[in-house]
Structure 1
Amino acid sequence: MKIIRKIATVTLIIINLVSCTKKETTFIDPLITNRDTTISPSEDFFHYANGGWFNQHPIPTSERSNGIFRMIQDTINNQIKSICETSAKETSAEKGSNKQKIGDFYASAMDTVAIDKAGITPLKSKFARIEAITDVPSLLKTIGYLHTIGSGAAFSFYVSQDDKLSSKNAVKFMQGGLGLRQRDYYFNTDAETVNIRAEYVKHIQAMMQLLGVNPSEASQNATSIMKLETDLAKASRKLEALRDPVKNYNKMSVLQFKALTPNIDWNITLKDLGIAKADSVIVGQPEFYKALNTYIKSYPIADWKTYLKWDLVNTYASYLNAAIENQNFKFYSTVMGGVKKQKPRWKRSVEQTDGSLGELIGQVYVKDYLPAGSKEKLLEIGNNIRDVYAEHIKKLDWMSAETKVKALNKLSKIVMKVGYPDKWKDMSSVVIDRNSYCQNVMAANVWAYQYMTSKYGKPVDRTEWSMYPQTYNAYYNPSNNEICVPACNILVPGFEGKLPDDAILYGIIGGSTFGHEITHGFDDEGSQYDEKGNLNNWWTAEDLKKFKTKTGLIVSQFNKYKVGNKNINGSATQGENIADLGGVIMGYEAFKKTKQYTAKEMISKLNPDQRYFLAYGYAWMVNSNKEALSQQIMSDVHSPPQYRINGPLSNVSEFYKAFNIKPGSKMYQPDSLRVEIW
Structure 2
Amino acid sequence: MRTIHKLSLIALSAAFITSCTKKETTFSDPLATNRDTTVNPSDDFFLYANGGWFKKNPIPDSERSNGIFRTIQDTINAQVKSICENAAKDSKAPKGSNQQKIGSFYASGMDTIAIEKAGLTPLADPLKRIDAITDASSLMTTIGYLHTLGANPSFAFGVNQDDKISTKYALIFYQGGLGMGNRDYYFNTDKETVTIRTEYLKYIEELAKLSGSATASQDAAAIMQLETGLAKASRKLEALRDPIKNYNKMSVAQFSVATPNINWVQVLPSLGIAKADTLIVGQPEFFAALNDMVKSYPIESWKKYLKFNLINTNASYLNKSIGDQNFHFYATVMSGVAKQKPRWKKVVEQTNGSLGELIGEVYVKDYLPKGSKEKLIEIGKNINAVYADHIKKLDWMSEATKKKALLKLSKIIMKVGYPDKWKDMSSVSIGSSYCANVLEVDKWKYNYMVSKFGKPVDRTEWSMTPQTYNAYYNPSNNEIVVPACNILVPGFEGRLPDDAILYGIIGGSVFGHEITHGFDDQGSQYDENGNLNNWWTAEDLTKFTEKTKRIVAQFNSFEALPGKFVNGDATQGENIADLGGVVMGLEAFKKTEQYKSGEKISGLTPLQRYFLGYAYAWMVNIKNESLAQQIMTDVHAPAKYRINGPVANMPEFYNAFNVKPGNKMYQPDSLRVVIW
What interval of TM-score do these two structures reach, taking the shorter chain for normalisation?
over 0.9
User: Residue in 1 aligned with 2:266?
Assistant: 268
Q: Is the 8 A contact 2:163 2:531 kept in 1?
A: yes
Cα distance in 1, alignment partners of residues 55 and 159 from structure 2: 46
Unmatched runs of 5 consecutive residues or more in structure 1:
none
Report how many aligned residue pairs link the two structures. 673
2:329 is aligned, of 304, 322, 331, to: 331
- Measured after TM superposition, the shift of residue 168 of structure 1 is 0.1
Residue 103 of structure 1 deviates from its aligned partner by 0.3
Indicate conservation of the 8 Å contact 1:39/1:47, yes or no.
yes
Task: Tell me the alpha carbon deviations over residues 290-319 of structure 1, each in whole angstroms, 9 at most, x when there is no partner.
Answer: 000000010000000000000000100000
CA drift at 1:2: 2.1
Matched, 1:472 2:469: yes
Q: Mapping of 1:360-379 within 5 angstroms?
A: 360-379=358-377
Question: For residue 384 of structure 1, what is the aligned residue in structure 2?
Answer: 382
Q: Which residue of 2 aligns with 1:3?
A: 4
The answer to whether the 8 A contact 2:551-2:576 is kept is yes
Matching residue of 1:66 = 66
SS state at 1:492 partner? coil
TM-score by length of structure 1 reads 0.98
* Matched-pair contact (CA < 8 Å) for 1:430–1:447: yes
Match of 2:78 in 1: 78
1:347-396 Cα deviation digits (max 9, x unpaired): 10000000000000000000011121011011001000000000000000
Pair 632,133 (structure 1): closer, same or farther in 2 beyond 3 Å: same
Residue 491 of structure 1 corresponds to: 488
What amino acid does structure 2 have at the position aligned with 1:583?
A: G
Shift of 1:16: 4.1
Q: State whether structure 2 residue 37 is matched by structure 1 residue 37.
A: yes
User: Are the counterparts in 2 of residues 410 and 530 from structure 1 also a CA contact under 8 Å?
Assistant: yes
Contact kept? 1:7, 1:72, Cα under 8 Å? no
Q: Distance in 1 between matches of 2:93 and 2:446?
A: 27
Residue correspondence of structure 1 range 381-460 to structure 2 within 5 A: 381-433=379-431, 435-460=432-457
Offset at residue 664 of structure 1 (A): 1.4
* Contact 2:15-2:495 within 8 A present in 1 as well: no
Q: Secondary structure at the match of 1:255?
A: helix
Q: Distance in 1 between matches of 2:382 and 2:23?
A: 33
Is 1:293 matched with 2:291? yes
Give the CA deviation at 1:19.
6.1
Would the alpha carbon gap of residues 266 and 16 (structure 1) be closer, same or farther in structure 2, given more than 3 Å must change?
farther
Contact 1:96 1:431 in 2 (8 A): yes
Which residue of structure 1 aligns with residue 611 of structure 2? 613
CA contact (8 A) 2:11 2:497 kept: no
Give 1:213 shift. Answer: 1.4
- The 8 Å contact of residues 16 and 377 in structure 1, kept in 2 or not, is answered as no
The two structures, once aligned, show a CA RMSD in angstroms of 1.2
Letter in 2 for 1:17: F
Shift of 1:6: 7.1
Q: For 1:137, what is the secondary structure of its paired residue?
A: helix
Give yes or no for the alignment of 1:514 onto 2:515: no
Contact 1:13 1:493 in 2 (8 A): no
Question: Matched residues in 1 for 2:159 and 2:210: separation?
Answer: 35
Following superposition, the deviation at residue 14 of structure 1 comes to 3.6
1:303 maps to 301
Residue 559 in structure 1 maps to residue 556 in structure 2? yes
* Alpha-carbon distance in 1 for matches of 2:497, 2:16: 11
Superposed counterparts of 1:248-263, under 5 Å: 248-263=246-261
Please tell me whether the aligned partners of residues 34 and 51 of structure 2 are also in contact (alpha carbons under 8 angstroms).
yes
Kindly indicate whether the alpha-carbon contact (under 8 Å) linking 1:254 and 1:279 is maintained by their aligned counterparts in 2. Answer: yes
Structure 1 residues 132-211: aligned runs within 5 Å:
132-211=132-211
CA contact (8 A) 1:15 1:500 kept: no
What CA deviation, in whole Å up to 9, does each residue of 1:7-61 have, x standing for no partner?
99xx966464356763211110000000000110011000000000000000000
* Residue number in structure 2 paired with 1:599: 597
For residues 380 and 490 of structure 1, the distance between their equivalents in structure 2, rounded to whole angstroms, comes to 13
Change (3 A) 1:19 1:382: farther
| Residue identity matched to 1:308 | L
Equivalent AA in structure 2 for residue 208 of structure 1: A
Displacement after TM superposition at 1:4 (Å): 2.1
2:8/2:488 contact within 8 Å kept: no
Query: Which residue of 2 is the match for residue 526 of structure 1?
Result: 523
| In structure 2, C-alpha distance between the alignment counterparts of 1:270 and 1:624, rounded to whole Å | 42
Q: One-letter code of the match for 1:137? A: S
Could you tell me which amino acid in structure 2 is paired with residue 374 of structure 1?
Answer: S
TM superposition shift of 1:576: 0.2
Q: Which blocks of at least 5 consecutive residues in structure 2 are unaligned? A: none
C-alpha distance in 2, partners of 1:279/1:458? 15
Report if aligned partners of 1:59, 1:66 keep a CA contact under 8 Å in 2.
yes
* 1:563 Cα offset (Å): 1.2
User: Does structure 1 retain, via aligned residues, the 8 Å contact 2:104–2:430?
Assistant: yes
* 8 Å contact from structure 2 (residues 116, 318) kept in 1: yes
1:223 counterpart = 2:224: no
Q: Is 1:7–1:71's contact at 8 Å kept on the other side of the alignment?
A: no
2:154 aligns to what SS in structure 1?
coil
Say which of 539, 543, 546 aligns to 2:543. 546
Structure 2 counterpart of 1:175, one-letter code: Q
Tell me, in whole angstroms, the C-alpha distance in 1 between the residues paired with 2:488 and 2:500: 15
| Mapped partners of 2:15, 2:150: distance in 1 | 40
Residue identity in the other structure for 1:53: W
* Partner AA of 1:222 in structure 2: A
* Aligned amino acid, residue 26 of structure 1: T
